[in-house]
Amino acid sequence: MRFKLLRRRLTISAPRMAIRSSMPWPLRWAGVAIVLGFCGAISLWTFEFGKSIAGLDTGAKEELVRLRDDVERLRSERDKAQSGVNTSASLITAEKAAQERLGAQIKLLQAENRSLRDDLAFFERLIPASGSEGVAIRALQAEVLGKQLKWQMLVIHPVKNAAEFHGKLEVSIAGMLDGKPWTMELPGGPQALQFRQYRRIEGMVELPAQAVVKNVSAKVVEGAATRAVQSIKL
Pairwise CA distance, residues 175 & 157, whole Å = 31
4 vs 13: CA distance, rounded Å: 11
Structural domains of the chain, count: 2
Residue 234 CB-density burial (10 A; 0-12 exposed, 13-18 middle, 19+ buried):
middle
Q: What domain range is 159 assigned to? A: 136-233
Name every residue whose Cβ is closer than 8 Å to that of residue 229 and which is 6 or more positions away in sequence: 137, 217, 218, 219, 220
Same domain flag for 150 and 220: yes
Is-contact 140 195, C-beta < 8 A? no
Q: What are phi and psi of 213, to 5 degrees?
A: -85, 130
Using alpha carbons, list the distances in angstroms from residue 118 to 103, 122, 200, 234. 23, 6, 13, 22
pLDDT in tens, 50-81: 656 555 555 666 777 788 888 888 888 888 88
Mark which of 89, 105, 125 sits at the end of a domain: 125
How many other C-beta atoms lie within 10 A of the C-beta of residue 174?
16
Last residue of a domain, one of 56, 91, 125: 125
φ, ψ of residue 98 to 5 degrees: the values are: -65, -40
pTM (predicted TM-score): 0.45
What pLDDT is recorded for position 218?
93
Residue 111 has what pLDDT?
A: 86
Phi, psi angle pair for 36, to nearest 5°:
-65, -45
Residue 191 lies in a domain: yes
- Give me Rg for the CA atoms of the chain: 58
Q: Do 174 and 89 fall into the same domain?
A: no
Angle at 108 between CA 107 and CA 113, to 5 degrees: 95
Residue 5 resides in a domain = no
Intervals of the chain under pLDDT 70: 1-32, 35, 38, 40, 44-45, 47-61, 119-133
Give the whole-angstrom CA distance, residue 168 versus residue 199: 13
- Please state, in angstroms and rounded to a whole number, the distance separating the CA atoms of residues 135 and 165: 9
Are both 159 and 102 inside the same structural domain? no
pLDDT, residue 174, reads: 93
Alpha-carbon span 234 to 231, nearest angstrom: 10
| C-beta separation of 233 from 215 below 8 A | yes
